Structure 1
Amino acid sequence: MASINVTLKEIKLPQQKLVNLVTYNSGEKHLFPTVLSPTDNVATHQLITTIKSNMAQIEESLLSSGAVLLRGFPILTASDFNDVIVEALGYEDFPYEGLGSRHKVIGRVYTANEAPPEKKIPFHHELSHLSQPPSKVLFFCEEEPKSGGETAILSSNLIYELIRKKHPDFVAKLEQHGLRSVGLLNAEAENSSPIGRGWKATFSTDEKSVAEEKVAKMGQKLEWIGDVGKITLLSPAFKVDQLRGNKTWANTLILWYGWRDSSDGQFKMTYGDGTPLPEEIVGDCFRMFEEESVAVPWKKGDVLLLDNLIVLHSRRSFQPPRRILASFGK
């Protein structure tokens, strides 16, 4: 039987990259993501205690790299994952109110985006349009894909700096005007779309007036075309990571670009002043995101912990089966 005081070791995977991340300007490099595994077998009844006793190492790794993959723990079910979130990690709950096609499984656990497996979900920060989005996003692999389906990740500060150097005028205009996005939300969910959750599920209400109040609290506008909600979001393109002082690519531009052909005009994006975005430059940025990202294949029981303020994530297409669950923390 394993000792109750199981420690964690950092392991290396071929997909990791040694890059400048949250300390981009200092030249310091970190393996991305950090991968932590127990030094001994952990029995199910030791799971919570083991993670709790190693929280200092987990938090330090999250601070330095922005992403921590926990591998080799006896986390088998959605209930196990919920226990890890609530009892071991201790992050305050952030209830999900977004457009992604997902539903609650148990406690604080949701399905990951339920878009069809052939659809890619481009890079984004979760709920980045909010003034205070969740600071933590956690993913759990309950059933690993037959092939593909990686949750690719990318340092937001790194990609901001790379794009700023390559397309300075574009970044300057984004800095000046921000972004304006207009979306049409149907009343009911459409799981065939990655952003088809519907306004009733998104805002947890059947009442239009309640939905309007929630959008107004975000400083945005919700209008109606029959039962279809027309939401207009004006948001800055970048934010400053207050903990580290670095700028991050905190917008949904790449998400919009990746879905523009399949959304049937349901979502549109421009500069904040209403002028069109330069398609060729946005396409180049899309390619840069893919080139700079890291994608570690899922294994059953994996938990991926992301600092949502500094790390972007995406989903690659896959061959079923695949069941990834998610949770969000303040």
Structure 2
Amino acid sequence: MAEESLFHEVVGLLPQQKSEGGSSFPVVLTPNPRIEKPIPLTEAIKANRTWLDSLLHRSGAILFRGFHVSSASDFNDVVEASGYEDFSYGVGGAGTRTKVVGRVYTANEAPPDQNIPFHHEMAHAPVYPSKLFFFCEVEPGKGGETCIALSHVIYERMRQKHPKFIEEMEEKGLIYTRYVGEESDPSSPIGRSWKEVFMTEDKAVAEERAAKLGMKLEWVEGAVKVIIGPKPGFRYDEVKKHKIWFNGVVGGFKDKLNDDPSKGVVFSDGKPLPTDVPGDCSKIFDEECVALQWRKGDVLLLDNLAVLHSRRPLIMLPRRVLASFCK
């Protein structure tokens, strides 16, 4: 069957849905109402992988809504149907996650009242997933939106707002510093212990694994100081011929050993970032993002190199969103 007979693209379903380069962001696909017998999402994806890949490349994000996907196992079947190779969330990941089934994990288990800043998944690591799947198993009571933004749009707006900062960032690169505790910290969005992050209890092994990820470890009492970089603050998309915002400038977190998030990201020479940059960038994110209000059964597919994502605080429980990562 042709893709036109399986999917129906809906424009205007999301209040903040945008148009970028002739394509909607995100693209919203629902079952074709003209088909009497609903086609499972797994079958629709298998039949149209090439078309969906092209759609994802143009848009950066696809929301599948209204399909019968009700459980973690159903979601795992959808991920498998995509044909994308599994990316195991293992060494180096800072967010606390629990494996649910197959290739499915919980989304970041940070306390629901906390905001998770915009980021590309595992952008600090030399190897990171190229595509992300999210699935709403339990619809939020209120709040808890997953927000998405096109990375090249953020880069261009920051270049217009802070040209000197962008020039310096591109010239020098950035260094990230965070403290990782001996024990996990459930109150933090990046609360995995160093033993969990590096999947070992041996400090020497942790140092070896960190080095492979471009990280340096400095041991302090009850924790380890993790130094990442220097790393470029942007990447260049060779296919689309534009630069993308690929950094953690807005991702600073307070923790028990560092109460000043501004120290978490500096230029490679140790010079602090201009004080107004993180705030201005946050405002641009708010203006450019699409805030997805989850509905039960929603499946969201993101191009991790083109789209940043975040999570707003949850105002009313419950909420359960699951995730899967692809190479």
2 CA distance for matches of 1:109 and 1:190? 22
Q: 1:49 to 1:14 in 2, by over 3 A?
A: closer
2:188 aligned residue: 193
1 CA distance for matches of 2:36 and 2:222? 54
Classify the secondary structure of the residue corresponding to 1:113.
Answer: coil
2 CA distance for matches of 1:169 and 1:19? 29
2:99 aligned residue: 104
Q: 1:41 to 1:283 in 2, by over 3 A?
A: farther
Opposite residue 9 of structure 2, the aligned amino acid is E
1:239 aligned residue: 235
Please say if 1:78 is aligned against 2:77: no
For residue 207 of structure 1, report the CA deviation from its aligned partner.
2.0
2:31 aligned residue: 38
Opposite residue 201 of structure 1, the aligned amino acid is E
Opposite residue 34 of structure 1, the aligned amino acid is V
Equivalenced residues, count:
317
For residue 156 of structure 1, report the CA deviation from its aligned partner.
0.3
Opposite residue 145 of structure 1, the aligned amino acid is P
For residue 261 of structure 1, report the CA deviation from its aligned partner.
8.3
Q: Which is further off, 55-64 or 143-152?
A: 55-64
1:215 corresponds to which of 210, 216, 221: 210
Q: TM-score, normalised by structure 2?
A: 0.91
1:306 aligned residue: 302
1:171-212 CA-to-partner distances (Å, cap 9, x unmatched) read: 111111111111111122211110101112222222222221
1 CA distance for matches of 2:37 and 2:10? 17
1:285 aligned residue: 281
2:268 aligned residue: 272
Classify the secondary structure of the residue corresponding to 2:157.
Answer: helix
Q: Are the equivalent residues in 1 in contact too, given 2:248–2:265 (CA < 8 A)?
A: no
Classify the secondary structure of the residue corresponding to 1:233.
Answer: strand
RMSD: 2.2
Gaps of 5+ in 2: none
Q: Are the equivalent residues in 1 in contact too, given 2:132–2:302 (CA < 8 A)?
A: yes
1:25 aligned residue: none
Opposite residue 282 of structure 2, the aligned amino acid is F
For residue 243 of structure 1, report the CA deviation from its aligned partner.
2.9
Q: Are the equivalent residues in 2 in contact too, given 1:16–1:33 (CA < 8 A)?
A: no
1:110-259 equivalences under 5 Å are 110-234=105-229, 235-256=231-252, 259=253
2:8 aligned residue: 9
1 CA distance for matches of 2:184 and 2:45? 37
Gaps of 5+ in 1: 21-27
Q: Are the equivalent residues in 2 in contact too, given 1:119–1:317 (CA < 8 A)?
A: yes
Classify the secondary structure of the residue corresponding to 2:250.
Answer: helix
For residue 170 of structure 1, report the CA deviation from its aligned partner.
0.9
Opposite residue 155 of structure 2, the aligned amino acid is Y
2:85 corresponds to which of 83, 92, 97: 92
Classify the secondary structure of the residue corresponding to 2:96.
Answer: coil
Classify the secondary structure of the residue corresponding to 1:176.
Answer: helix
Opposite residue 310 of structure 2, the aligned amino acid is S
Opposite residue 109 of structure 1, the aligned amino acid is V
Classify the secondary structure of the residue corresponding to 1:115.
Answer: coil
2 CA distance for matches of 1:188 and 1:93? 28
Opposite residue 327 of structure 1, the aligned amino acid is S
Fraction of identical pairs, as percent:
49
2 CA distance for matches of 1:90 and 1:223? 40
1:143-187 CA-to-partner distances (Å, cap 9, x unmatched) read: 010011111000000110111012100111111111111111112
Opposite residue 284 of structure 2, the aligned amino acid is M
Q: Are the equivalent residues in 2 in contact too, given 1:159–1:289 (CA < 8 A)?
A: yes
1:244-275 CA-to-partner distances (Å, cap 9, x unmatched) read: 2221111111111xx34896348722111101
1:326 corresponds to which of 319, 323, 326: 323
